[in-house]
Amino acid sequence: MPFIAIIGPRDAGPGEREQMLSMAAEFFAVHTSGEHTRIDVPERGAGSEGDGPMRDEVASAVPALQSGSLFGDVSGLLIVAAHQRVKAEADVIAELLAVADLGAIACAIVAEGALPAAVKKAVSERGEVTTIKKMRERDASEWLAGEAKRRGLRIDQQAATVLLHRFGSDVAALGRALDQLQVDGDTVTEKDVRGRFSNRPDEPMWYLSDAITAGKEGEALRRLADFLEHDHPLVLLAFLEGEVRRRALAQAAPDIETYAGWVGSAPGAYPVRKAWEARNRARPESLRRSLDALARADLTLKTEPEAVHRVTLERLTVALCRWLR
Protein backbone atom coordinates (compact mmCIF):
# COMPACT_ATOMS: atom_id res chain seq x y z
CA MET A 1 0.00 0.00 0.00
CA PRO A 2 2.44 2.71 -1.14
CA PHE A 3 -0.32 5.33 -1.45
CA ILE A 4 -2.91 6.41 1.07
CA ALA A 5 -5.47 9.21 1.03
CA ILE A 6 -6.77 10.31 4.44
CA ILE A 7 -9.97 12.32 4.20
CA GLY A 8 -11.32 14.17 7.21
CA PRO A 9 -14.56 16.09 7.75
CA ARG A 10 -15.08 19.34 5.87
CA ASP A 11 -15.18 21.27 9.15
CA ALA A 12 -12.18 19.46 10.65
CA GLY A 13 -10.77 20.99 13.82
CA PRO A 14 -7.32 20.61 15.40
CA GLY A 15 -8.29 17.22 16.86
CA GLU A 16 -9.30 15.72 13.54
CA ARG A 17 -6.27 17.23 11.81
CA GLU A 18 -4.00 15.71 14.44
CA GLN A 19 -5.64 12.33 13.84
CA MET A 20 -5.09 12.61 10.09
CA LEU A 21 -1.45 13.57 10.46
CA SER A 22 -0.89 10.83 13.05
CA MET A 23 -2.29 8.28 10.60
CA ALA A 24 0.06 9.62 7.93
CA ALA A 25 3.01 9.34 10.33
CA GLU A 26 2.10 5.70 11.06
CA PHE A 27 1.92 5.07 7.30
CA PHE A 28 5.43 6.46 6.78
CA ALA A 29 6.77 4.50 9.75
CA VAL A 30 5.70 1.28 8.01
CA HIS A 31 6.60 2.12 4.41
CA THR A 32 9.69 4.37 4.71
CA SER A 33 12.62 4.99 7.02
CA GLY A 34 10.47 7.67 8.69
CA GLU A 35 11.77 10.62 6.70
CA HIS A 36 9.42 12.35 4.29
CA THR A 37 8.91 15.58 2.36
CA ARG A 38 5.86 17.65 3.32
CA ILE A 39 3.94 19.90 0.91
CA ASP A 40 1.19 22.19 2.21
CA VAL A 41 -1.20 23.10 -0.58
CA PRO A 42 -2.14 26.81 -0.35
CA GLU A 43 -5.72 27.99 -0.58
CA ARG A 44 -7.23 28.52 -4.00
CA GLY A 45 -6.25 31.97 -5.20
CA ALA A 46 -3.18 32.02 -2.93
CA GLY A 47 0.39 30.93 -3.46
CA SER A 48 3.00 31.80 -6.08
CA GLU A 49 2.26 31.24 -9.74
CA GLY A 50 4.77 28.94 -11.41
CA ASP A 51 5.81 28.64 -15.06
CA GLY A 52 3.43 25.73 -15.71
CA PRO A 53 -0.02 24.69 -14.46
CA MET A 54 1.12 24.27 -10.85
CA ARG A 55 1.80 26.84 -8.17
CA ASP A 56 5.35 26.90 -6.82
CA GLU A 57 4.28 25.51 -3.43
CA VAL A 58 2.81 22.38 -5.09
CA ALA A 59 5.26 21.92 -7.98
CA SER A 60 7.88 20.22 -5.79
CA ALA A 61 5.57 17.18 -5.70
CA VAL A 62 6.43 16.50 -9.35
CA PRO A 63 10.13 15.54 -8.95
CA ALA A 64 9.32 13.72 -5.70
CA LEU A 65 6.82 11.46 -7.47
CA GLN A 66 8.97 11.05 -10.56
CA SER A 67 12.35 10.20 -9.07
CA GLY A 68 11.93 8.71 -5.61
CA SER A 69 15.01 8.33 -3.42
CA LEU A 70 18.54 8.76 -4.72
CA PHE A 71 19.78 6.10 -2.27
CA GLY A 72 17.64 3.17 -3.32
CA ASP A 73 15.22 3.23 -0.37
CA VAL A 74 11.58 4.36 -0.35
CA SER A 75 10.98 8.12 -0.27
CA GLY A 76 8.04 9.61 1.58
CA LEU A 77 5.83 12.41 0.29
CA LEU A 78 3.12 14.00 2.43
CA ILE A 79 0.63 16.33 0.72
CA VAL A 80 -1.49 18.29 3.21
CA ALA A 81 -4.73 20.18 2.44
CA ALA A 82 -5.08 18.42 -0.91
CA HIS A 83 -8.71 19.57 -1.16
CA GLN A 84 -7.34 23.04 -1.97
CA ARG A 85 -5.71 21.98 -5.22
CA VAL A 86 -6.89 23.63 -8.40
CA LYS A 87 -7.97 21.31 -11.21
CA ALA A 88 -4.78 21.59 -13.24
CA GLU A 89 -2.70 20.61 -10.22
CA ALA A 90 -5.00 17.72 -9.38
CA ASP A 91 -4.79 16.38 -12.93
CA VAL A 92 -0.97 16.48 -12.92
CA ILE A 93 -0.72 14.76 -9.53
CA ALA A 94 -3.22 12.09 -10.60
CA GLU A 95 -1.22 11.33 -13.75
CA LEU A 96 2.01 11.02 -11.73
CA LEU A 97 0.40 8.76 -9.13
CA ALA A 98 -0.82 6.47 -11.90
CA VAL A 99 2.73 5.80 -13.16
CA ALA A 100 4.86 6.33 -10.02
CA ASP A 101 7.32 3.57 -9.07
CA LEU A 102 5.61 1.69 -6.22
CA GLY A 103 8.97 0.51 -4.94
CA ALA A 104 10.48 3.99 -4.74
CA ILE A 105 7.83 6.34 -3.36
CA ALA A 106 5.26 6.21 -0.56
CA CYS A 107 2.74 9.04 -0.71
CA ALA A 108 0.17 10.10 1.90
CA ILE A 109 -2.44 12.68 0.91
CA VAL A 110 -4.45 14.50 3.60
CA ALA A 111 -7.64 16.36 2.70
CA GLU A 112 -10.71 17.82 4.37
CA GLY A 113 -14.15 17.19 2.96
CA ALA A 114 -13.27 15.67 -0.42
CA LEU A 115 -10.37 14.92 -2.73
CA PRO A 116 -10.34 15.95 -6.37
CA ALA A 117 -11.97 13.05 -8.22
CA ALA A 118 -8.93 12.31 -10.41
CA VAL A 119 -6.60 12.10 -7.39
CA LYS A 120 -9.00 9.91 -5.42
CA LYS A 121 -9.33 7.52 -8.35
CA ALA A 122 -5.56 7.27 -8.80
CA VAL A 123 -4.99 6.56 -5.11
CA SER A 124 -7.80 4.02 -4.80
CA GLU A 125 -6.44 2.04 -7.78
CA ARG A 126 -2.94 1.71 -6.29
CA GLY A 127 -3.47 2.20 -2.57
CA GLU A 128 -6.13 2.97 0.02
CA VAL A 129 -8.61 5.76 0.69
CA THR A 130 -9.64 6.08 4.34
CA THR A 131 -11.75 8.58 6.26
CA ILE A 132 -11.62 10.24 9.66
CA LYS A 133 -15.03 11.02 11.10
CA LYS A 134 -15.96 14.18 12.96
CA MET A 135 -14.98 13.91 16.60
CA ARG A 136 -17.93 14.09 19.00
CA GLU A 137 -18.03 14.37 22.78
CA ARG A 138 -18.54 10.62 23.15
CA ASP A 139 -15.62 9.90 20.83
CA ALA A 140 -13.45 12.31 22.82
CA SER A 141 -14.34 10.48 26.03
CA GLU A 142 -13.22 7.19 24.52
CA TRP A 143 -10.08 8.84 23.16
CA LEU A 144 -9.25 10.32 26.56
CA ALA A 145 -9.58 6.94 28.27
CA GLY A 146 -7.36 5.25 25.69
CA GLU A 147 -4.75 8.01 25.69
CA ALA A 148 -4.58 8.00 29.50
CA LYS A 149 -4.01 4.24 29.44
CA ARG A 150 -1.30 4.60 26.79
CA ARG A 151 0.50 7.20 28.90
CA GLY A 152 0.13 5.21 32.12
CA LEU A 153 -2.09 7.89 33.70
CA ARG A 154 -4.91 7.17 36.14
CA ILE A 155 -7.64 9.79 35.63
CA ASP A 156 -10.64 9.63 37.93
CA GLN A 157 -14.13 10.11 36.51
CA GLN A 158 -14.59 13.60 37.94
CA ALA A 159 -11.28 14.75 36.44
CA ALA A 160 -12.25 13.30 33.04
CA THR A 161 -15.61 15.08 33.20
CA VAL A 162 -13.95 18.44 33.89
CA LEU A 163 -11.44 17.92 31.06
CA LEU A 164 -14.19 17.09 28.57
CA HIS A 165 -16.29 20.02 29.73
CA ARG A 166 -13.39 22.41 29.23
CA PHE A 167 -11.93 21.10 25.96
CA GLY A 168 -14.91 19.32 24.42
CA SER A 169 -14.12 17.10 21.43
CA ASP A 170 -10.81 18.85 20.66
CA VAL A 171 -8.46 15.92 21.24
CA ALA A 172 -5.46 18.05 20.25
CA ALA A 173 -6.17 20.38 23.19
CA LEU A 174 -6.91 17.39 25.43
CA GLY A 175 -3.54 15.94 24.50
CA ARG A 176 -1.81 19.17 25.46
CA ALA A 177 -3.71 19.18 28.75
CA LEU A 178 -2.42 15.67 29.45
CA ASP A 179 1.10 16.87 28.62
CA GLN A 180 0.75 19.40 31.44
CA LEU A 181 -0.92 17.06 33.93
CA GLN A 182 1.59 14.29 33.34
CA VAL A 183 4.34 16.47 34.78
CA ASP A 184 2.69 16.24 38.22
CA GLY A 185 2.57 12.44 38.40
CA ASP A 186 0.66 9.43 37.11
CA THR A 187 -2.58 10.08 39.04
CA VAL A 188 -4.92 12.89 37.95
CA THR A 189 -7.76 14.10 40.16
CA GLU A 190 -10.48 16.69 39.68
CA LYS A 191 -8.53 19.02 41.97
CA ASP A 192 -5.45 18.67 39.73
CA VAL A 193 -7.43 19.58 36.61
CA ARG A 194 -9.24 22.54 38.17
CA GLY A 195 -6.03 23.75 39.78
CA ARG A 196 -4.11 23.78 36.51
CA PHE A 197 -6.81 24.91 34.10
CA SER A 198 -9.37 26.79 36.18
CA ASN A 199 -7.92 28.12 39.39
CA ARG A 200 -4.74 29.55 37.99
CA PRO A 201 -4.62 33.29 37.25
CA ASP A 202 -6.80 33.19 34.12
CA GLU A 203 -7.23 36.95 34.04
CA PRO A 204 -4.23 37.52 31.74
CA MET A 205 -5.65 35.01 29.26
CA TRP A 206 -9.05 36.72 29.23
CA TYR A 207 -7.37 40.08 28.78
CA LEU A 208 -5.28 38.68 25.94
CA SER A 209 -8.32 37.12 24.26
CA ASP A 210 -10.25 40.39 24.49
CA ALA A 211 -7.33 42.34 23.01
CA ILE A 212 -7.06 39.85 20.13
CA THR A 213 -10.76 39.98 19.25
CA ALA A 214 -10.62 43.78 19.40
CA GLY A 215 -7.69 43.77 16.94
CA LYS A 216 -5.42 45.62 19.40
CA GLU A 217 -2.07 44.16 18.40
CA GLY A 218 0.07 46.23 20.77
CA GLU A 219 -2.05 45.45 23.82
CA ALA A 220 -2.28 41.78 22.85
CA LEU A 221 1.51 41.50 22.63
CA ARG A 222 1.85 43.12 26.07
CA ARG A 223 -0.72 40.70 27.52
CA LEU A 224 1.17 37.82 25.92
CA ALA A 225 4.39 38.90 27.61
CA ASP A 226 2.55 39.13 30.95
CA PHE A 227 1.14 35.64 30.55
CA LEU A 228 4.48 34.05 29.65
CA GLU A 229 5.95 35.39 32.88
CA HIS A 230 3.89 32.98 34.99
CA ASP A 231 2.49 30.19 32.82
CA HIS A 232 3.31 27.70 30.09
CA PRO A 233 2.61 28.61 26.43
CA LEU A 234 0.83 25.29 25.77
CA VAL A 235 -1.82 26.32 28.31
CA LEU A 236 -2.35 29.51 26.33
CA LEU A 237 -2.68 27.63 23.04
CA ALA A 238 -5.30 25.34 24.57
CA PHE A 239 -7.22 28.36 25.87
CA LEU A 240 -7.14 30.18 22.52
CA GLU A 241 -8.17 27.06 20.63
CA GLY A 242 -11.14 26.75 22.97
CA GLU A 243 -12.10 30.37 22.30
CA VAL A 244 -11.95 29.92 18.52
CA ARG A 245 -13.81 26.62 18.71
CA ARG A 246 -16.61 28.22 20.73
CA ARG A 247 -16.93 31.02 18.17
CA ALA A 248 -17.15 28.44 15.39
CA LEU A 249 -19.86 26.58 17.27
CA ALA A 250 -21.74 29.84 17.84
CA GLN A 251 -21.67 30.54 14.10
CA ALA A 252 -23.09 27.10 13.37
CA ALA A 253 -25.84 27.20 16.01
CA PRO A 254 -29.34 28.33 14.92
CA ASP A 255 -29.98 30.10 18.24
CA ILE A 256 -28.30 30.85 21.55
CA GLU A 257 -30.21 28.11 23.37
CA THR A 258 -28.83 25.47 21.00
CA TYR A 259 -25.33 26.88 21.33
CA ALA A 260 -25.57 26.88 25.13
CA GLY A 261 -26.60 23.23 25.01
CA TRP A 262 -23.65 22.35 22.82
CA VAL A 263 -21.13 23.88 25.24
CA GLY A 264 -22.94 22.59 28.32
CA SER A 265 -23.86 25.94 29.84
CA ALA A 266 -26.87 28.19 30.41
CA PRO A 267 -27.99 30.67 27.71
CA GLY A 268 -27.64 33.53 30.18
CA ALA A 269 -24.06 32.69 31.19
CA TYR A 270 -21.62 35.48 30.37
CA PRO A 271 -19.20 33.33 28.28
CA VAL A 272 -22.16 32.04 26.25
CA ARG A 273 -23.57 35.51 25.61
CA LYS A 274 -20.11 36.84 24.80
CA ALA A 275 -19.39 34.16 22.19
CA TRP A 276 -22.89 34.50 20.73
CA GLU A 277 -22.62 38.26 20.31
CA ALA A 278 -19.20 37.91 18.64
CA ARG A 279 -20.18 35.02 16.37
CA ASN A 280 -20.34 37.04 13.14
CA ARG A 281 -17.27 39.22 13.63
CA ALA A 282 -14.99 36.73 11.89
CA ARG A 283 -15.67 34.84 8.68
CA PRO A 284 -15.70 31.02 8.78
CA GLU A 285 -12.54 31.05 6.65
CA SER A 286 -10.80 33.28 9.23
CA LEU A 287 -11.77 30.87 12.01
CA ARG A 288 -10.36 27.97 9.98
CA ARG A 289 -7.12 29.84 9.35
CA SER A 290 -6.90 30.63 13.06
CA LEU A 291 -7.24 26.96 13.99
CA ASP A 292 -4.62 26.02 11.38
CA ALA A 293 -2.22 28.61 12.80
CA LEU A 294 -2.81 27.39 16.36
CA ALA A 295 -2.09 23.81 15.27
CA ARG A 296 1.15 24.87 13.54
CA ALA A 297 2.22 26.88 16.60
CA ASP A 298 1.58 23.84 18.79
CA LEU A 299 3.81 21.71 16.53
CA THR A 300 6.55 24.35 16.64
CA LEU A 301 6.49 24.53 20.43
CA LYS A 302 6.78 20.75 20.65
CA THR A 303 9.47 20.21 18.02
CA GLU A 304 11.57 23.36 17.73
CA PRO A 305 14.13 24.88 20.15
CA GLU A 306 12.79 27.06 22.94
CA ALA A 307 14.55 30.06 21.42
CA VAL A 308 11.89 30.26 18.68
CA HIS A 309 8.86 29.78 20.94
CA ARG A 310 8.34 33.41 21.89
CA VAL A 311 8.57 34.78 18.36
CA THR A 312 6.20 32.03 17.19
CA LEU A 313 3.62 33.10 19.77
CA GLU A 314 4.09 36.77 18.92
CA ARG A 315 3.51 36.13 15.22
CA LEU A 316 0.49 33.98 16.06
CA THR A 317 -0.94 36.74 18.26
CA VAL A 318 -0.63 39.37 15.53
CA ALA A 319 -2.24 37.04 12.97
CA LEU A 320 -5.15 36.26 15.28
CA CYS A 321 -5.68 39.99 15.89
CA ARG A 322 -6.20 40.44 12.15
CA TRP A 323 -8.36 37.35 11.59
CA LEU A 324 -10.66 37.48 14.62
CA ARG A 325 -11.46 41.18 15.02
- The string of pLDDT tens digits covering residues 51-91 is 566 777 778 778 777 765 555 577 888 888 777 777 888 88
Q: Burial of 316 by CB count in 10 Å (0-12 exposed, 13-18 middle, 19+ buried)?
A: buried
Decide: 176 and 298 in contact? Cβ < 8 Å: yes
Q: How many other C-beta atoms lie within 10 A of the C-beta of residue 236?
A: 23
- The string of pLDDT tens digits covering residues 103-135 is 788 888 888 888 888 888 888 888 889 988 887
Q: Write the DSSP assignment of 185-208 as a string of letters.
A: -SEE-HHHHHHHHTSS--HHHHHH
pLDDT along the chain (325 residues), means of 10: 84 78 87 79 67 73 69 76 78 86 84 86 88 82 89 90 80 82 85 70 67 85 77 84 86 87 80 81 85 89 83 90 86
> What's the pLDDT score for residue 199?
40
> What's the pLDDT score for residue 201?
43
Q: Which CATH number fits domain 137-324: 2.40.10.10, 3.40.250.10, 1.20.272.10, 3.40.50.10260?
A: 1.20.272.10
Identity of the residue numbered 273:
R
> What's the pLDDT score for residue 194?
82
Q: Alpha-carbon distance 323 to 325, whole Å?
A: 6
Q: How many other C-beta atoms lie within 10 A of the C-beta of residue 161?
A: 14
The residue extents of the domains of the chain are 3-131, 137-324
Q: Burial of 1 by CB count in 10 Å (0-12 exposed, 13-18 middle, 19+ buried)?
A: exposed
Q: Alpha-carbon distance 119 to 129, whole Å?
A: 10
Q: Alpha-carbon distance 174 to 196, whole Å?
A: 13
DSSP label at residue 308: G
3-131 placed in CATH 3.60.21.10? no
